[in-house]
């Protein structure tokens, strides 16, 4: 009797399972939402993606390519391993989402009953209803080269204010998203009477031709007496699909003076076969009060607080591992991090080891891709106790199997020694950097969510 009952239950479960399997996955019911939230943010007429992924037709006609890019994790671009450490605004597909898309394609790309594109509409409505207090445009529209090669530029955006002002957010707005690949910007502020004219000098310099020192000279960045003005690093960062990091109220922010320059030290335009016009700009949001907790930035490795071991010299035809380590002397709360290498990068891992020998995973990138160098923000502040060691291990591939290798046959490539923080993307040099943004730890920080929405 008992066995019979189990038999009947099993048969029932089996029938239910078959029933579920037969329940069709359709574009409108199951797939559209995933495509709109995880792909259409870039694959839209104004986005960085080379074609639209919005309608049933857009997606179904590329189903083969989509199978390929999502099984290899090439798309959506999210180099960080989500199983090692998760971050805010992750772009990767969950296992379920991936399976849904793949099954839908295998089962014959069924369209299903039409529903309005309401999901997409909600993505494009600006979540941030704040209006910027100031917009700073490029001094002149930039026209890219038509040689189908990347362009790496330094560009300055000077602006004057009536009085010293607190700024809560500086946001880069890419105008021509097809070509603007990424930017990293610093804020330079001038003390009273240290600089007469912030607008003179060149507004753009090609950093593949000129060293950073030369570029500074050409752009007339230094004070009139040739001393250095105050530079606050990484006030704005942009990559296609990324949003400007903004911390909860009272954390972060900047003090601007009457005379200021936003200096984009890494303005990367992707290759195009035709000259493209771009007039990107910055939105600036003021704040009434000074930042209560000032975010600090430091970096391990190249130009940073820790040596690279062995020195960063990558012989031709070798895959080689390098390490850099730094001890944290006070309790800190990590907010945002950025791993940085150039074209030979293969993989990257960073973790902290506490005095109790506990490991705190920070980030792991299994397949480095120099095109997608995000600033990753933790979901909650991440406490690293005093005495911990932050350890970074990076592997470089200088063989001809690395499709990004700029030289064939491969050549020896090493670190470039320059003077200001971050280096350019010159193909002849490599970097190994781990940039961290943090606060001195306060009781309860680890409970504070960094999601401002």
Binding residues for ligand HEC, rule: CB under 6 A, are 38-39, 41-43, 48-50, 53, 62, 65-66, 69-70, 75-77, 91, 93, 240-241
Least spacing, CB of residue 214 vs ligand HEC, in Å: 31
Least spacing, CB of residue 38 vs ligand HEC, in Å: 5
User: 39 vs 235, which CB is nearer to ligand HEC?
Assistant: 39
Token couple for 116? 């309005």
User: 42 vs 391, which CB is nearer to ligand HEC?
Assistant: 42
User: 85 vs 91, which CB is nearer to ligand HEC?
Assistant: 91
Least spacing, CB of residue 64 vs ligand HEC, in Å: 9
Give CA separation, 110 vs 23, 67, 97, 147, 406, in Å: 12, 15, 16, 42, 43
Least spacing, CB of residue 94 vs ligand HEC, in Å: 11
Least spacing, CB of residue 90 vs ligand HEC, in Å: 11
Least spacing, CB of residue 146 vs ligand HEC, in Å: 18
Least spacing, CB of residue 404 vs ligand HEC, in Å: 12
Least spacing, CB of residue 209 vs ligand HEC, in Å: 26
Least spacing, CB of residue 91 vs ligand HEC, in Å: 5
Least spacing, CB of residue 331 vs ligand HEC, in Å: 35
User: 69 vs 161, which CB is nearer to ligand HEC?
Assistant: 69
User: 40 vs 198, which CB is nearer to ligand HEC?
Assistant: 40
User: 77 vs 423, which CB is nearer to ligand HEC?
Assistant: 77
Token couple for 110? 């069924």
User: 34 vs 312, which CB is nearer to ligand HEC?
Assistant: 34
The three state secondary structure string of the chain is CHHHHHHHHHHHHHHHHHHHHHCCCCHHHHHHHHHHHHCCCCCCCCCCCCCCCCCHHHHHCCHHHHHHHHHCCCCCCCCECCCCCCECCCCCCCHHHHHHHHHHHHCCCCCCCCCCCHHHHHHHCCCCCCCCCEEEECCCCEECCCCCCCEEEEEEEEEECCCCEEEEEEEEECCCCCCEEEEEEEEEEECCCCCCCCCCCCCEEECCCCCHHHHHHHHCCCCCCCCCCEEEEEEEEECCCCCCCCCCCCECCEEECCEEEEEEEEEEECCCCCCCEECCEEEEEEECCCCCECCEEEEEECCCCCCEECCCEECCCCEEEEEEEEECCCCEEEEEEEEECCCCEEEEEEEEECCCCCEEEEEEECCCCCCCCCCEEEEEEEEECCCCEEEEEEEEECCCCCCCCCCCCCCCEEECCCCCCCCCCCCCEECCEEEEEEEECCCCHHHCECCCC
Classify residue 136 as exposed, middle or buried by CB count within 10 Å of its CB (0-12, 13-18, 19+): middle
CB atoms under 10 Å from CB of 12, counted, come to 10
User: 49 vs 301, which CB is nearer to ligand HEC?
Assistant: 49
User: 62 vs 320, which CB is nearer to ligand HEC?
Assistant: 62
User: 40 vs 251, which CB is nearer to ligand HEC?
Assistant: 40
């Amino acid at each position: 009797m008992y066995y019979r009952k189990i038999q009947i239950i099993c048969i029932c479960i089996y029938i239910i399972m078959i029933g579920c399997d037969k329940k069709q996955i359709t574009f409108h019911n199951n797939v559209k939402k995933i495509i709109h939230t995880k792909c259409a943010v870039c694959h839209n007429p104004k986005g960085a993606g080379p074609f639209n992924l919005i309608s049933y037709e857009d997606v179904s006609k590329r189903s083969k390519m989509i199978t390929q890019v999502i099984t290899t994790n090439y798309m959506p671009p999210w180099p960080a391993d989500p199983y090692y450490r998760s971050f805010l605004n992750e772009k990767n597909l969950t296992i379920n989402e991936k399976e849904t898309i793949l099954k839908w394609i295998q089962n014959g790309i069924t369209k299903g009953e039409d529903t309005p594109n309401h999901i997409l509409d909600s993505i494009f409505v600006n979540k941030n209803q704040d209006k910027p207090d100031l917009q700073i445009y490029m001094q002149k529209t930039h026209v890219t080269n038509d040689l189908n090669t990347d362009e790496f530029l330094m560009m300055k955006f000077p602006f004057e204010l009536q009085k010293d002002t607190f700024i809560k957010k500086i946001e880069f707005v890419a105008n021509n998203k097809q070509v603007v690949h990424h930017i990293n910007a610093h804020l330079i502020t001038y003390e009273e009477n240290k600089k007469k004219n912030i607008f003179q000098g060149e507004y753009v310099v090609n950093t593949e031709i000129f060293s950073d020192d030369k570029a500074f000279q050409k752009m007339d960045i230094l004070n009139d007496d040739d001393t250095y003005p105050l530079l606050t690093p990484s006030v704005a960062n942009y990559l296609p699909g990324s949003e400007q990091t903004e911390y909860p109220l009272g954390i972060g922010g900047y003090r601007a003076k009457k005379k200021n320059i936003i200096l984009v030290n890494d303005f990367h335009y992707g290759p195009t076969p035709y000259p493209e016009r771009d007039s990107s700009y910055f939105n600036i949001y003021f704040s009434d009060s000074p930042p209560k907790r000032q975010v600090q930035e430091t970096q391990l490795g190249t130009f940073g607080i820790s040596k690279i071991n062995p020195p960063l010299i990558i012989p031709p035809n070798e895959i080689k591992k390098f390490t850099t380590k730094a001890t944290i002397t006070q309790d800190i709360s990590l907010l945002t991090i950025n791993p940085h290498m150039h074209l030979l990068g293969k993989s990257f891992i960073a973790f902290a080891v506490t005095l109790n020998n506990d490991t705190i995973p920070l980030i792991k990138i299994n397949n480095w891709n120099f095109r997608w160098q995000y600033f990753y923000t933790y979901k909650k502040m991440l406490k690293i106790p005093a005495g911990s060691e932050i350890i970074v291990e990076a592997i470089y591939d200088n063989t001809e199997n690395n499709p990004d290798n700029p030289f064939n046959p491969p050549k020896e490539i090493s670190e470039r020694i320059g003077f200001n923080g971050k280096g350019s993307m010159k193909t002849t040099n490599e970097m190994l950097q781990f940039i961290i943004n943090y606060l001195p730890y306060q009781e309860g920080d680890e409970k504070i969510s960094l999601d401002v929405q």
